[in-house]
Chain A
Amino acid sequence: MSILAGKKVIIIGDRDGIPGMAIEACAKTAGAEVVFSSTECFV
């Protein structure tokens, strides 16, 4: 069963890991609706 298709996706990216925008681009290709995307910084 699909995890992402048709779901509302909240993205918490990381400046030192994977940024929000990169995750957003991927999530959209899986049929998810991105409702929020941010990039955190743990410094």
Chain B
Amino acid sequence: MDLENQKRVKEFAEQYGPENIVVLLGAAEGEASGLAAETVTAGDPTYAGPLTGVSLGLTVYHVCEPEVKAEFDEAVYDEQVSMMEMVLDVDDIISEMSAIRDEHCKYLG
């Protein structure tokens, strides 16, 4: 994840409390989704950014995962996301994201 974005995520977690934050990702592949999810839960796996060694344990979902998709207005999702969703490997994204969540999220309801 972009180093500037890591810094922002860290600041928001301190400002609002990590239990009140949900991170939504729009990455194009499972691997990129998993890396971003790992960054905001276990810490930056590339050891490059401000979240290196910082385990925020934030709740994180990809926007195409069924759990969050069910909470969106269907018409807005169709208009904004569904075109791109068709070309993404959503099963791969779901599998990467659930593995990271199961292992590293601290605030799942």
Contacts and interface: CB of A to CB of B under 8 A. Distances in A.
Interface of A: 1-5, 7-14, 16-23, 25-27, 29-32, 35-36, 38-40, 42
Interface of B: 1-2, 5, 8-9, 12, 16, 20-29, 32, 36, 40, 58-59, 61, 63-64, 67-68, 71-73, 76-77, 79-81, 84-85, 88, 109
B76 A25 contact: yes
B56 to A, nearest CB: 11
A17 to B, nearest CB: 3
9 contacts: A4-B71, A11-B23, A14-B27, A17-B29, A18-B81, A22-B63, A23-B63, A36-B8, A36-B12
B22 A26 contact: no
Contacts of B109: 1, 3
Contacts of B12: 8, 10, 35-36
A21 B8 CA distance: 17
**In terms of DSSP, what is the predominant structure of the interface of chain B?**
mixed
Nearest to A11: B24
B26 A2 contact: no
Contacts of A12: 1-2, 5, 23-27, 36
A23 B82 CA distance: 11
A38 B5 CA distance: 8
Contact of A3 (B16, B20, B71, B88): B71
